[in-house]
Amino acid sequence: MTRRQAAIPFILVTILIDVLGIGLIVPILPELIVEMTGGEISQGSSVYGIFIAVYAAMQFLFAPILGALSDRFGRRPVLLVSLLGAGLDYLLMALAPTLGLLFLGRVLAGITGANLTVANAYIADVTRPEDRAKNFGLIGAVFGIGFIIGPAMGGFLGNINLRLPFYAAAVIALVNWLYGYFVLPESLKDENRQQFSPAQLNPLRAFGTLARYPVVLGLTFTLICTYLAQNMLQSTWVLFTGYRFDWGPLQNGFSLTVLGLLTALVQGGLIRVLLPKLGERRAIITGMLISTITMTAYGLVSQEWMLYAAMVVGSLAGIAGPAIQGLVSRSVSAREQGTVLGALASIASLTGVIGPLLGTQLFAYFTAPERTAPVPGAAFLVAAVLSFAGLLAAVRSFRRSSDREPEQEVPLELQGAPL
């Protein structure tokens, strides 16, 4: 195996570490923050929402910066510095004696986790054009694996000690950094390096492109509602299950692993059967309707088995994401594909800031000690309303759209792609 061939597995492991860094601590971070804020769950949940939001905000702000740095100085130094920083940062969080240091750790984790842009660029550098779709597809597979393994490991290790998942993440990141230091070659040729441009550092620069495409613009509101609902679900899941069912890291890690497996089954297999039969528009409407029903069920469940039943049904809502991507992809010109999809990715990052803040504040308000009738599922019920609003927006967009072309089969590289 040549050094360049060895680089692809390294990049995939790097992305896996980014995902594991999220998945490992999801089952334990809420409990750790509640413990460090005095043990009162409604107060701790408010702080937890800020921790999630700042992580997403740092990724949103620093993704274009790391990308620009890699265009100027090369992919290798940016990737290696971000990996080393991630490893040291996880050690900081493992040892952090105060909430302030733990918060600083999440800020740094968001910055180092923004290296996905550089990893994508590296793969494009070292891959032949005809093989890029296949290798980018591997990235989706790695995301799925990370969100299955991460919560399971985090739940198991966190059940032993709440700090142990941080140590595990640090070891993985530092070992990969050491491997990359000796194995990873530079992929960017000297003649392809660029000078800094202030426009490259603006994460909002692609939004103006959306206004030129009515279907895309109409679906943007649907995407915003969908992303907000998903982020509210993810940010309050552990808080809700701890409050409603008294679950700890082990039970939460298991439930999140099951959710990851169900998502992988739908995104990786079932969606290839359903999308061609339903078509993009019907798939979007069906997925949003299922999401509305499932979010409502999450908010009202009273027994553990009901939660798992809702998870099985709710996983089918994943057909909407690839359908939206497919419709968007064939609604824009070939030269603006990257710009439009980049703008949608920026929207996802922004909702990753707003959604957790909104969800955790709702949970904190409706579970406060003074509440005589607490509603721990309030965030899920609001997410159901958002999903329904996104459904109505999609229907309205389709009715008003001037695009009357018959639906085409969704490209294979888009089928199963994460929303």
Low-confidence winner among 35-44, 120-129, 230-239, 257-266 (lowest mean pLDDT) = 120-129
d(CA 180, CA 161): 30
Rg (CA), the chain: 21
Spell out the domain ranges in the chain.
1-186+199-203, 205-419
DSSP letter (8 states) at residue 414: T
Per-residue tokens: 186: 């530079």
- Split at pLDDT 50, 70, 90, the class of 415 is very low
Please tell me the predicted confidence (pLDDT) of residue 28: 86
User: Quick one: 370 exposed, middle or buried, by C-beta within 10 A (0-12, 13-18, 19+)?
Assistant: exposed
Query: DSSP label at 373?
Result: S
- The answer to whether 293 touches 391, Cβ cutoff 8 Å, is no
Question: Which distant-in-sequence residues (6+ apart) come within 8 Å of 238 by Cβ?
Answer: 26, 27, 29, 30, 31, 247, 252
Question: What DSSP designation does 407 have?
Answer: P
Record the tokens describing residue 323, joined without a space. 């359908």
Q: What is the pLDDT of residue 222?
A: 87
The winner for highest mean pLDDT among 51-65, 120-134, 135-149, 393-407 is 51-65
For the chain, the farthest-separated pair of C-alpha atoms sits apart, in whole angstroms, at: 67
More confident of the two residues 239 and 264: 239
Q: What average pLDDT does range 129-138 have in this prediction? A: 61
Is the pLDDT at 6 greater than 60? The verdict is no
Does residue 310 carry a pLDDT above 90?
A: yes
**Is a pLDDT exceeding 90 seen at residue 92?**
yes
Closest CA to 418 of 271, 253, 222: 271
* pLDDT-based confidence at residue 417 (cuts at 50, 70, 90): very low
Q: What is the CATH number of domain 1-186+199-203?
A: 1.20.1250.20
Residue 406 pLDDT > 70: no
Residue 199 has what pLDDT? 61
Percentage with pLDDT > 70 across the chain? 79
Q: With cut-offs at 50, 70 and 90, classify the pLDDT of residue 221.
A: confident
What is residue 327's predicted lDDT score, i.e. its pLDDT? Answer: 76
- Its pTM stands at 0.76
Q: Residue range 231-243: average pLDDT?
A: 91
Q: Is 279 left (phi over 0), alpha (psi -120 to 50) or beta?
A: left
Gap between the terminal Cα atoms of the chain: 34
pLDDT of residue 416: 38
Q: Is the pLDDT of residue 85 over 80?
A: yes
Checking if the pLDDT of 408 tops 60, the result is no
- pLDDT higher than 50, residue 403: no
pLDDT higher than 50, residue 418: no
Tell me the C-alpha to C-alpha distance, in Å, between residue 221 and each of 228, 295, 325, 387.
11, 18, 14, 11
Here the tokens at position 391 are 């459904």
Cβ count within 10 A of residue 409: 11
3-state secondary structure of 201: helix
Q: Which amino acid is at 395?
A: V
Query: Do the domains 1-186+199-203 and 205-419 sit in the same CATH topology, yes or no?
Result: yes
Burial class of residue 167 in the structure, from the number of CB atoms within 10 Å of its CB (0-12 exposed, 13-18 middle, 19+ buried): middle
Question: Mean pLDDT across the chain, nearest whole number?
Answer: 80
**Model confidence pLDDT, tens digit, residues 324-350:** 766 776 676 655 555 566 667 677 778
For residue 155, give the amino acid letter.
Answer: G
Q: Which of 35-44, 72-81, 119-128, 261-270 has the lowest mean pLDDT?
A: 119-128
Cβ–Cβ < 8 Å for 251, 386: no
Indicate the DSSP class of residue 38: T
Query: Is the pLDDT at 245 greater than 60, yes or no?
Result: yes
What is the C-alpha to C-alpha distance for residues 367 and 49, in angstroms, rounded to an integer? 15
Q: Is the pLDDT of residue 367 over 50?
A: yes
pLDDT at 409 over 50: no
Amino acid code (one letter) for 239:
L
What does the alpha-carbon distance between residue 355 and residue 230 come to, in Å, rounded to a whole number?
A: 8
Of residues 75 and 414, more confidence is placed in 75
Least confident of 101-105, 148-152, 216-220: 216-220
- Alpha carbons 321 and 233: distance in angstroms, whole number: 16
Query: Which element (helix H / strand E) includes 281?
Result: helix 280-300
Phi and psi dihedrals of 376, rounded to 5? Answer: -65, -20
Neighbours of 103 (CB within 10 A): 17
Fold of the CATH domain 205-419: Growth Hormone; Chain: A; (1.20.1250)
The mean pLDDT of 221-228, rounded to a whole number, is 88
The pLDDT of residue 414: 38
pLDDT exceeds cutoff 90 at 311? yes
Residue 150's Cβ-count burial label (10 Å; 0-12, 13-18, 19+) is buried
pLDDT at 52: 85
**Res 305: pLDDT:** 94
Reference 14, options 148, 118, 149, 137; nearest CA is 118
Chain segment 151-209, per-residue pLDDT in tens: 888 888 988 998 998 898 888 888 888 888 887 777 777 666 666 666 655 656 656 66
Euclidean distance between CA atoms 159 and 286, whole angstroms:
38
Average pLDDT rounded to a whole number, residues 216-233: 86
Cα torsion through 350, 354, 359, 361, rounded to 10: 160
